[in-house]
Amino acid sequence: MTEKLYYTSDDLELDTEVLSCTQETDGRFRVVLASTLFHPQGGGQPSDRGMIGSANMLQAIQDGTDVIHFTDAAVEAGPAHIQIDGVLRREHTRYHSAGHLIAYAGEKYGWYGYKGNHRPGEGRIVFQPVRLTSPVTAEDFAAGATDLVAQNLALSTSEEDGKRMVTWGDLPVYACGGTHVPSTGEVGQIVITRVKEKKGELSVQYELKD
């Protein structure tokens, strides 16, 4: 079982151990580490990238209790140093956290954000009604999310029934395994590009400005 340190640490470097490395049919190499900081693809958040030794780590995925790391070259079993691409991690973290803030903004209108895509260029939150809903526009979502950014609320994490719980300030707490900014102010400017209602659901598309 891979020790998933990304749940508790925002570090970008780690000395760990390569447990196995096998070549795939597509030419990539499948690497299992004893412990990892690489956040795997999942929950709408893209995989981290970086280095395992001198090999490029191209994609990480969850596979049962292990995290599988795909590299462009073989790595030897034994001690290894890993390095996460910090610029890419920060972009993913900002987009993922923005999704939370947009979801919070929708709650006051009776909408619950239950899934999302947090890939840069594809940002989208899908909402379901949880009570009698009010009409809501792109401007409403933008105003609500922008207000939460301006409040610069501090991140808070906890554990409940074995699940990692996340919130900022006194906002509602949700189970989430993604990466998150330490304060809402670090998300930056959120732009709502489209709001569309179809078959009783609301789809809100967004992007971030640097």
C-alpha 75/C-alpha 110 separation (Å) is: 51
Q: What is the pTM of this model?
A: 0.94
C-alpha 68/C-alpha 28 separation (Å) is: 12
C-alpha 188/C-alpha 95 separation (Å) is: 10
**pLDDT at 133 > cutoff 90:** no
For residues 98-111, average pLDDT: 96
pLDDT tens column, 10-41: 999 999 999 999 999 999 999 999 999 999 99
